[in-house]
Structure 1
Amino acid sequence: MIFQAKNKRSLLMILALTVILSSCVSKRNSYFMRDFKKEIATAKVQQADKDYTIKTNDNLYVSVKTINPEVNAMFSQDDGGGLGAGNMYNSQSGQHIYGYQVDNRGEISLPVIGGVNVAGRTLKEAKEQIQLRADEYLKDADIQVRLLNFKVSVLGEVRSPGVYYNYNNTMTVLEAIGMAQGTTDYAKIKDVLVVRRGETAVQPFMLNLTKRDIMASEAFYLQPNDVIFVRPQKLKNVRLNASYYTIGLSSLTTIMLIVNFFWG
């Protein structure tokens, strides 16, 4: 009886420890940029990729506003309300249909103005180039240019994985994770992978989001079609397997209690 009582106590202790361990998730490395205690020299901070160069097949939003509503309607399908304000730009299909795609010659074809070469130019330079052409045909035209195909994929240990579009011309890796509703409790933010597709090769970046040094990384400011993968901690597998162990131990304990009750 003494031996059986010891066995029961041992099993109960193991069961209790298993439950406790399976419910514990370390928070040591779950804080973003936790070493951000001092200012960072501006020279060491990666500047926002405002100089993104337009490429063939990019899709652009181009708004040309004048005092003539009829002329405005020729250039924009958004009822004069700007990007995302009208029905035509509320869906990705609408943006592709009514945006201006850069052709193989590096040009976009605009009403009245005609073809304007924008490939290899920054968005700011493209705006200036379109402004110059517009001034030849239109009076007091106001030009706005945005990149419609700036999308990133956020995968792995985030609360809402998916593809996210950005219309502000710049986006950081932290903003992308924020759009995905943040990380889960199992996210290994010390080991976040950013995959960037170049013209000739795919370039991977490993980011430790607990360190402020990520602001100096080329991947801190994202580029169109980047893929962010937040890896899981090893503890996730332990936690998932622990539930099975808990069930097994619970069943074994129940059996032992029944045996002791009838045969003790």
Structure 2
Amino acid sequence: MNFIMFRKFYAHKNAVKLLILLALVTVSCASRKDFVYFQDEPVKKEDISLVNTELVYGTDDLLTIDVSSLDPEASRPFNLPVVSYSPTVIGAQGQLKMQTYLIDINGNIEFPVLGTIKLGGLTRTEATAYLKERLSEYIKDPIVNIRLANFTITVLGEVNRPGTYTIQDERISVSEALGLAGDLTNNGKRTNVFLIRESGGEKRFARLDLTSVNLVNSQLYYMAQNDVLVVEPNRARRNASTYNPNTAVIISAISTLATITAIFVVK
């Protein structure tokens, strides 16, 4: 190889190196660990402590309470009818709805006949048993059905459909909540999902690792009323947020300059 050919080879080699370097700077790679859920091995079954995930009623919860018995007339005073009206062409059309009871700051509701009763701080099982006991003074073998009408959760951050969701059931897992929000985007950090929960009038915070299979056995796996999940962006997303719109122009200019330099060097 003569000297001129060596100079051409060396110049082109340097230009290629520069272009590869620019490509590496602008492109980020992601591994399997960045995306796959429940990657690790579960702990032994005997090491898992089962926790009570039953909902506990609290301030601002909106309850529907249905009371029934073998004697419909006896239970009627405990089921106040609520009529909602909707306008029609010929007037207004009424529709019966169930009465709702708002738990106040002291944990109380105002219930027909029974008056002020405290349900705040009780689980559904406990509240049902308490109401049955109180109603037994008026009804033989009462049947009580309690439902939470405003069970809501919020999912924010790097998900496809962030927002606040009202849940029909009183039980939803973290996985199901993320499913409602359309799952995480590719830019969501799966190892550090932020959970905000109100308990005892205080805000509590926790970090969830979605890549760990042991999350399903955690007491945090099932969400509580008004829980907030925040999916933070990964490093690629954070870097993109500081991306300069002129970067592409600058890279193109550098590439052109590298090509011109290589041409002049070999001449």
Unaligned runs of 5+ in 1: 80-86, 90-94
The offset of 1:100, in angstroms, is: 0.3
- Counterparts of 2:202 and 2:104 in 1: how far apart (Å)? 22
In the superposition, the TM-score normalised over structure 2's length comes to: 0.71
Matched, 1:249 2:254: no
- Counterparts of 2:167 and 2:120 in 1: how far apart (Å)? 20
- Counterparts of 2:18 and 2:12 in 1: how far apart (Å)? 10
Equivalence for 1:31:
36
Closer, same or farther: CA 154–16 of 1 in aligned 2, 3 Å: same
Contact 2:67/2:78, CA 8 A, preserved across alignment: no
- Counterparts of 2:63 and 2:82 in 1: how far apart (Å)? 13
Sequence identity of aligned pairs in percent? 27
- Counterparts of 1:104 and 1:14 in 2: how far apart (Å)? 61
- Counterparts of 1:33 and 1:249 in 2: how far apart (Å)? 39
- Greater shift in the superposed pair: 126-135 or 70-79: 70-79
- Counterparts of 1:222 and 1:237 in 2: how far apart (Å)? 28
Closer, same or farther: CA 9–72 of 1 in aligned 2, 3 Å: farther
- Relative to its length, the structure with more strand (as a share) is 2
Q: Structure 1 counterpart of 2:31, which letter?
A: S
Equivalence for 1:63:
66
In the superposition, the TM-score normalised over structure 1's length comes to: 0.71
- Counterparts of 1:117 and 1:13 in 2: how far apart (Å)? 69
Contact 2:50/2:217, CA 8 A, preserved across alignment: yes
- What per-residue deviation string (whole Å, max 9, x for no partner) do you get for residues 88-135 of structure 1? 88xxxxx9xx52012355432233454433233221111122233344
Q: Structure 2 counterpart of 1:44, which letter?
A: I
Equivalence for 1:188:
189
Equivalence for 1:207:
208
- Counterparts of 1:146 and 1:78 in 2: how far apart (Å)? 19
Closer, same or farther: CA 76–124 of 1 in aligned 2, 3 Å: farther
- Counterparts of 2:135 and 2:163 in 1: how far apart (Å)? 39
Closer, same or farther: CA 206–17 of 1 in aligned 2, 3 Å: closer
Residue 182 of structure 2: SS of its match in structure 1?
coil
Equivalence for 2:119:
118
Equivalence for 2:87:
none
Equivalence for 1:54:
57
Contact 1:64/1:72, CA 8 A, preserved across alignment: no
- Counterparts of 1:78 and 1:128 in 2: how far apart (Å)? 29
Structure 1 segments (4+ residues) deviating >6 Å:
255-261
Contact 1:159/1:182, CA 8 A, preserved across alignment: yes
Closer, same or farther: CA 253–103 of 1 in aligned 2, 3 Å: closer
CA RMSD of aligned residues (A): 4.0
- Counterparts of 1:78 and 1:7 in 2: how far apart (Å)? 80
Contact 1:55/1:106, CA 8 A, preserved across alignment: yes
- Greater shift in the superposed pair: 62-71 or 216-225: 62-71
Residue 238 of structure 2: SS of its match in structure 1?
helix
Unaligned runs of 5+ in 2: 1-6, 85-94
Closer, same or farther: CA 179–36 of 1 in aligned 2, 3 Å: farther
- Relative to its length, the structure with more helix (as a share) is 1
- What per-residue deviation string (whole Å, max 9, x for no partner) do you get for residues 170-217 of structure 1? 222222222211111122111122122233543221222211232343
- Counterparts of 2:178 and 2:52 in 1: how far apart (Å)? 17
- Counterparts of 1:27 and 1:244 in 2: how far apart (Å)? 32
The offset of 1:28, in angstroms, is: 1.8
Contact 1:25/1:186, CA 8 A, preserved across alignment: no
Closer, same or farther: CA 236–243 of 1 in aligned 2, 3 Å: farther
The offset of 1:137, in angstroms, is: 3.6
Q: Structure 2 counterpart of 1:196, which letter?
A: R
- What per-residue deviation string (whole Å, max 9, x for no partner) do you get for residues 7-36 of structure 1? 6545544454456x24x4333232221114
Counting only pairs closer than 5 Å after superposition, residues 67-216 of structure 1 correspond to structure 2 as 68=72, 71=76, 74-75=79-80, 77=82, 98-103=99-104, 106-138=107-139, 141-199=142-200, 201-216=202-217
